[in-house]
Amino acid sequence: MSVGRITMVEWTSDAAMKAAFKLYLSTQKEYFPNAQAVINVKTGPLSMMSLAIYESFEEAEKNLVGRQKFNDTVNIFVKDTFYYEGDLHYFFQGPNAAIVAEYTEKDRQFFEAEKKAEKSG
């Protein structure tokens, strides 16, 4: 059965939240390669909820090292964070779903390439 990991984060400032989103996009494939789906929701002016879906608990556990690396990097910008995880009991996506997000896969690829260029330059 698939597993969902829900992470709640409260940031110290809007600038910190935006910087963390950019970092997340640039490292998502590196730190969370096993995630089958990720939905990040801005739940307040300085808060967010992230839902990541994994194939199994074992696959979710493989990403804990990457999760810790990400958290260590952004920790100074975090007021509070915690996560839950559990079996995925229901998933629905409408056949005609037109889901629109502030950031897309194209943005993730851009920030990932930008980070690689910074490392090599």
CATH number at residue 55: 3.30.70.100
Q: Which residues of 100-112 are buried (b: 16+ CB within 10 A; e: fewer)?
A: eeeeeeeebeebb
Q: Is residue 97 part of a domain?
A: yes
> How far is Cα 97 from Cα 37, in angstroms, rounded to an integer?
15
Q: pTM of the predicted model, to two decimals?
A: 0.85
Q: Is residue 120 part of a domain?
A: no
Tens digits of pLDDT across the chain (121 residues):
999 999 999 999 999 999 999 999 999 999 999 999 999 999 999 999 999 999 999 999 998 999 999 999 999 999 999 999 999 999 998 989 888 888 888 888 998 898 889 888 7
Q: Residue 105 has what pLDDT?
A: 86
Query: If residue 72 lies in a helix (H) or strand (E), which one and from where to where?
Result: helix 64-74
Q: Is residue 95 part of a domain?
A: yes
Number of domains, the chain: 1
Range of the domain at 79: 3-114
Q: Residue 70 has what pLDDT?
A: 92
Q: Is residue 121 part of a domain?
A: no
Q: Residue 100 has what pLDDT?
A: 87
